[in-house]
Copies of this chain bind each other. A is one copy, B any other.
Amino acid sequence: MSTDTTGAAPARPLVMSDVAARAGVSHQTVSRVVNGHPNVAPRTRERVQQAIAELGYRPNAAARALVTGSSRTIGLITIDVDQYGPAQTMIGLEQAARAAGYSLSVAILDRAGGLTIAEAVDRFVAQSVDAVVVHTAELQALEALEQVDPPVPLVAVQMGGEGHGSTVTVGQEAGAALAVDHLLELGHTTVHHLAGPSYSVEARRRIQGWRTALARAGAPAGELWLGDWWPSSGHAAGTDLAQRIRAGEPITAVFAGNDQMALGLMVALHEQGISVPGDVSVVGFDDVPEAPYFSPPLTTVRQDFAELGRRGVELVLARIGGEDGGSDLVEPRLLVRSSTGPARS
């Protein structure tokens, strides 16, 4: 319907020589100004900058990428961005990347296998990205990652194990230990664990941290259930738990692998007439924004996801700059609210 020639929008996109013509210099001088090259006379630089501003010129990224081999773009491979943690991490990543002058290209894996890690890396390489950041805790995906050897830096964020390339990770074991120690200090004999799914490396690390903390304190081993991160699996576990408690089993403390499962768990317990924290204390993991408004407000382990993203970019930049960039760790923190209390004597 509308023809796109409304004064401001030029029919032919502006190129460097348009700016050059206007400033009365060669296109190469414009290039030097654009790239902050030192050997340009101040007056010339000013004229060029003015011409750029007047024309509203932006250099063509594709041409730049072609000649330099770098697109000033970082590729992010992620999963489950509809969950709080991955979404926060992505925000931290994007903002840090942008602050450093990089754009973010995103590929979202799905559990249905629509896109494999190798394909995603491949695509990014063809796009001339300067680095790839992988954010997933999927065991399978991480194993696949080992096979990939891209010609650009690859950094993993939040992965549990030590993998190919650089890694930023939250101290999952430390976080689990925080939860367990808190519960033990409140006088609970042992702590049971409702873990995330087995394909998740994070879930495994938390299980490991839980076991270790229990052992270190000399407490008897607790029981382990597996959920799928979602509230419904917490609810199922809670229903089962409640029946066993009413049957007389001495279960008084549960550490849930994330806040959403803790929510489902507490709701099920409540439905079955079990009091939290009166009868059972519950600790979550993540500290989602809703956690303070659960019933009762949830004691949980906070992970600083945005910081994770920022560190990831730092690592990327170090690697792009040729530095080695080893592993980096973000420490979690315990937030005590009202879902935990002293053990019933």
B62, A231: Cβ atoms closer than 8 Å: no
Minimum CB–CB distance for A242 against chain B, Å = 15
Minimum CB–CB distance for A55 against chain B, Å = 13
A290, B290: Cβ atoms closer than 8 Å: yes
C-beta contact mask, A249-264 vs B, less than 8 Å → 1, else 0?
0000000000010011
B231, A292: Cβ atoms closer than 8 Å: yes
Cα A87 to Cα B88 with chains together (Å):
10
Given contacts A9-B151, A151-B4, contact A103 B127 (CB under 8 A): yes
- List of B residues within 8 angstroms of A88 by Cβ: 82
A331 within 8 A of B: no
Cα A126 to Cα B289 with chains together (Å):
37
- List of B residues within 8 angstroms of A58 by Cβ: 122-123, 125-126
- List of B residues within 8 angstroms of A263 by Cβ: 290, 293
Given contacts A87-B81, A267-B295, A270-B295, contact A106 B107 (CB under 8 A): no
A231, B289: Cβ atoms closer than 8 Å: yes
Among residues of B, the one whose C-beta sits closest to the C-beta of A13 is B151
| Cross-chain contact of A91 among B63, B81, B98 (Cβ < 8 A) | B81
- List of B residues within 8 angstroms of A71 by Cβ: 62
Given contacts A66-B63, A105-B104, A231-B289, contact A98 B114 (CB under 8 A): yes
For window 1-18 of chain A, which residues contact chain B by CB distance below 8 Å?
1, 4, 6, 8-9, 13
- List of B residues within 8 angstroms of A40 by Cβ: none
Minimum CB–CB distance for A312 against chain B, Å = 15
Besides A82-B84, A91-B108, A104-B107, 15 more A-B contacts (Cβ < 8 Å) are A9-B151, A58-B123, A58-B126, A62-B65, A62-B71, A73-B105, A87-B87, A90-B106, A90-B108, A103-B127, A106-B106, A232-B292, A263-B293, A264-B293, A267-B293
